[in-house]
Amino acid sequence: MKKLLLTLAMVPAVLFSPTAWGDATDDLLGRLQTLESMKGEFEQVVLDQSGTHMQEALGQFQVARGNRFYWLTETPYEQMAASDGTTVWVYDKDLEQVVVRPLSQDLGQTPALLFGGKPADVAKAFTISERDNRGAEVTYRLTPKGQDPLFDQLDVTFTGGQPASMRLQDALGQQTVIDFIGLTLNDGIDSSLFHFDPPEGTDVIQQQQ
C-alpha cells in the first residue's frame, strides 16, 4: 500500500533533576530562536519496531518562521506538502490529487513547526530533556503534552549549532528518521513555495480541521 512519506509522519528512561530539565528547555529554545529559516535536502528512513527498513525517501525542504514549510519527496515517488501558515496542501503527482486542509497549530501533529513555529510554543507543547550530549553534537528528546499526538517522542539532534536530524517514534515502536543535508540557515528562502496552486485537472479534496 502506498504510504505518505512526508512526516511532516527510540532505551531505558533517564531521570533528570528539575534543573536539568530547565536547562535542556532553555538550551533548545535558544537554538530555535536563532532560526528564522532553513532549507536543504533530506534523507528519510522508516523503521519497524525491530529496526528493519520499511521505506526510504529523498527530497528537499524549506521552513520559515510563521509556520511556513515546503517538503518535496522526489524519490521513490513525488509528493509535496506545503503550508503558508494557514493552509496545508498535500499533493500527490501520480494520483493527480491534492488534499487541502487548515494547518493544525498542534506541534504534536505537525513536527515541521518545530523549526517554523514560535520557539515559546515548543516549550508549551513538549516536555524537553537532554537525550545525549557529545560536545558538538547534542540530542534533545521532546515528549508531546497534548492529546492524540502523531508521535510518542521526538529526538532532534544539533551538530555544530545546526539541526542535523529528527527521529520520531509512534506508539507501535515504528520510527521515522530524517537526516538534513546541505543546510542553508536564515537565507535564500523562496516564499512562493509556501503556497500551492493545483495544476489544471487535479482532483482537489477539501478537509476540515
Q: What is the pLDDT of residues 107-130, one digit of tens each?
A: 777 777 889 988 988 988 899 999
* pLDDT, tens only, 43-85: 999 998 888 888 899 999 999 999 999 999 999 999 999 999 9
Which letter, b or e, does each residue of 107-125 get, where b requires 16 or more Cβ atoms within 10 Å of its Cβ? bbbbbbbbbbbbbebbbeb
Mean pLDDT of 167-195: 93
Taking alpha carbons only, the member of 2, 24, 5, 107 closest to residue 63 is 107
Cell numbers that stand for 31 in this block = 537554538
Instruction: Look at residue 84 in the predicted model and tell me its pLDDT.
Output: 96
Cβ–Cβ contacts within 10 Å for residue 137, how many? 13
* pLDDT, tens only, 130-166: 988 888 899 999 998 877 777 889 999 999 889 999 9
Predicted structure pTM score: 0.82
Burial class (CB in 10 A: 0-12, 13-18, 19+), 195: middle
Domains of the chain: 18-206 (2.50.20.10)
Instruction: Look at residue 132 in the predicted model and tell me its pLDDT.
Output: 85
Q: Is the pLDDT of residue 197 over 70?
A: yes
DSSP secondary structure code for residue 199 in this structure: P
Cell numbers that stand for 162 in this block = 545546526
Mean pLDDT of 8-16: 29
Judge whether 117 and 106 are in contact, CB under 8 Å: no
Q: What angle do CA 85, 89, 91 make, to 5 degrees?
A: 150
Q: CA 129 to CA 24: how far, in whole Å?
A: 5
Q: Is the pLDDT of residue 2 over 80?
A: no
Q: CA 40 to CA 19: how far, in whole Å?
A: 35
Judge whether 106 and 143 are in contact, CB under 8 Å: no
| Omega prior to 18 cis, within 30 of 0 | no
Q: Is 162 left (phi over 0), alpha (psi -120 to 50) or beta?
A: beta
